[in-house]
Amino acid sequence: MSIVATARITMKDADRDLPGAFGLGCVQLLEGVAMERSLNRAAKRLGMAYSKAWRIIREAEDQLDCQLLVRDGARGSSLTPAGERAVTAYRTLQTEVNELLARRTGELLDL
């Protein structure tokens, strides 16, 4: 038998009671925008309505107090430098948490 512990990272403004958070769904949308150059196409790839995708992005921008995505009219959308840093930070934290959980789960359960 193999035991695995999991955790999902979410980031929220600790000082304000705002809806939403910056988490995996937003990261997947932003990564999709980076690949597709379109929030609409990124949302469709995830099986999500465009309006829901925009809500997730706006709520994450409120939580992080920065613009993550910029629209350029007919040219589509792209990540801002802050958006790129947020995705990288999230992926780095998630990797580090996963490594810690894998190590500590085995140690604590003596498996």
Residue 39 domain flag: yes
The answer on pLDDT for 98 being more than 70 is yes
In CATH, what number is assigned to the domain containing residue 36?
A: 1.10.10.10
Q: What is the pLDDT of residues 42-89, one digit of tens each?
A: 999 999 999 999 999 999 999 999 999 998 877 889 999 999 999 999
Residue 16 domain flag: no
Looking at the structure of the chain, the number of domains it has is: 1
100 SS3 class: helix
79 SS3 class: strand
Residue 99 domain flag: yes
Beta carbons within 10 angstroms of residue 9's beta carbon:
19
Q: Which of 20, 57, 61, 21 is nearest to 42 (CA)?
A: 57
The answer on pLDDT for 16 being more than 80 is yes
Which residues, at least 6 apart from 55, have a Cβ–Cβ distance to it below 8 Å? 20
Which residue range is the domain that position 94 belongs to? 24-104
Residue 111 domain flag: no
